[in-house]
A = this chain, B = another copy of it.
C-alpha cells in the first residue's frame, strides 16, 4: 500500500495541515519541521498521487500550440497529431488550442504572441522561424510565467529549457550518407531543394548534408540550394529548370515541403526511377513515392511523438516535475519502401 499524507503526518509527528504546508510550499513552517516532514517523505517513499491532487485542486492545463498556417501535408499531419493528442488528453483535464500565423507576415506572429502573453496559458509549444522580434516576444511570454517550448524548429536564442524535435544537422548528415551510398560511386551531380534558409531546421539540414558529403563522398558535385518556400508549384518549376540546365543530375535532396511538385516533375521528365531522391517527412505523398520507387529514402520525425512529448514536457514544467529523459528524445527516423509501418 502506498503511503498517504496521513502516514507522513503520523511518521513525522506533525499534523496533516503541516504536511500539506510543506508539500505545497506554503509559508509558516519552521525549517526544522520542514526537515522532519521531508525525512518522513523520504523514509516512507511517499509520492504524491497526482490524479487525486489534480482532482482536488481542480487543476487543468491549458496549452497553446503556435503553428504556421501553411497548407503543406506535413503541417496537416502536425495538426492531426495535435487533435489526436488533444482527444486523448481531455480526460486528463488538458486542453490544447492551435493558433496559426501567416508565414509571410512576421508582424502578425508578433501580434499573436502578444495576445498569448496576455492570456498567460500554462504552456506554449511553438514552431516558428527564429527572428529577433520572435525571440523577444517569446521571452516576454516566458517572463509572464508561461512555459514555452519550441517544437520541430528550434529557437535556441530564447534560452528555452527544452527543444522538442530532432537534431536537424544530424538529419542532414543522415540524408547525405544514404544519398552517397545509394548513388553509384562515380562522380555525380546532386540537387538540393529547400523551403527557406531562414528556417532553423532547413538551414541545419543543409549544413549537415554538406558536412557528410564533403567528408565521405567528396567526388560528388552538390549544387547550391534552391529555395522553393515549401510550395509544390515552386518546387516543380525550379527543379524542372535545374534538370534542364544540369542533365547530369543523379541525386536530389529535398529538405522541405512541396514534394508533390517534385514527384510530378520527375514523372513528367521520365527521371522518376533513375534519380536517387532523399526527402523529408512521411506524408501520403512521400509514402506513395517511396512505394513506387520515385523516392529512395525519407528522413522523418514522428509528429505524434513530438506533440505528446511537448505536452509531457510542458506539464512537467508547470508541475515542477522531472520527465523520463529517454522518452523525450525524438529520433531521426529513416524510411525506405520496406519499413513503411
Considering the chains assembled together, what is the distance between the CA atoms of A182 and B183 in angstroms?
10
Contact B170 A339 (CB under 8 A): yes
| A177-B338, A336-B178 known; A51 vs B331 contact (CB < 8 Å) | no
Considering the chains assembled together, what is the distance between the CA atoms of A331 and B52 in angstroms?
35
Contact A339 B171 (CB under 8 A): yes
Considering the chains assembled together, what is the distance between the CA atoms of A93 and B1 in angstroms?
10
Contact B336 A177 (CB under 8 A): yes
Chain B residues with CB under 8 Å of A88's CB are 324, 327
Considering the chains assembled together, what is the distance between the CA atoms of A54 and B333 in angstroms?
37
A247 at the interface (CB under 8 A from B): no
Considering the chains assembled together, what is the distance between the CA atoms of A50 and B208 in angstroms?
46
Copies of the protein in its oligomer: 2
Considering the chains assembled together, what is the distance between the CA atoms of A176 and B337 in angstroms?
12
The interface bits of chain A over 317-331 (1 if a CB of B lies within 8 angstroms of the residue's CB, else 0) are 000000010110101
A273 at the interface (CB under 8 A from B): no
Considering the chains assembled together, what is the distance between the CA atoms of A2 and B91 in angstroms?
9
Contact B338 A331 (CB under 8 A): no
Chain B residues with CB under 8 Å of A334's CB are 333-336, 339
Tell me how far the C-beta of A322 lies from the nearest C-beta in chain B, rounded to whole angstroms.
Answer: 10
Contact B338 A326 (CB under 8 A): no
Contact A341 B329 (CB under 8 A): yes
Contact B92 A51 (CB under 8 A): yes
Contact B339 A327 (CB under 8 A): no
Tell me how far the C-beta of A13 lies from the nearest C-beta in chain B, rounded to whole angstroms.
Answer: 26
Contact B174 A336 (CB under 8 A): yes
Contact B55 A52 (CB under 8 A): yes
Tell me how far the C-beta of A278 lies from the nearest C-beta in chain B, rounded to whole angstroms.
Answer: 12
Considering the chains assembled together, what is the distance between the CA atoms of A177 and B336 in angstroms?
8
Contact B333 A333 (CB under 8 A): yes
A92's nearest neighbour on chain B, judged by CB, is B51
A68 at the interface (CB under 8 A from B): no
A199 at the interface (CB under 8 A from B): no
Chain B residues with CB under 8 Å of A337's CB are 177
Contact A84 B181 (CB under 8 A): no
A48 at the interface (CB under 8 A from B): yes
Chain B residues with CB under 8 Å of A176's CB are 338
Contact A304 B332 (CB under 8 A): no
The interface bits of chain A over 161-187 (1 if a CB of B lies within 8 angstroms of the residue's CB, else 0) are 000000100110110111001100000
Given contacts A302-B331, A329-B341, A334-B336, 18 further A-B pairs with CB under 8 A are A48-B91, A51-B54, A51-B55, A51-B91, A52-B55, A87-B324, A88-B324, A88-B327, A170-B338, A170-B339, A174-B338, A177-B338, A299-B339, A308-B327, A331-B339, A333-B333, A333-B334, A334-B339
Q: Which 10 A-B pairs have the closest CB atoms?
A: A51-B51, A334-B334, A174-B338, A332-B339, A173-B338, A174-B339, A177-B338, A50-B91, A52-B55, A88-B324
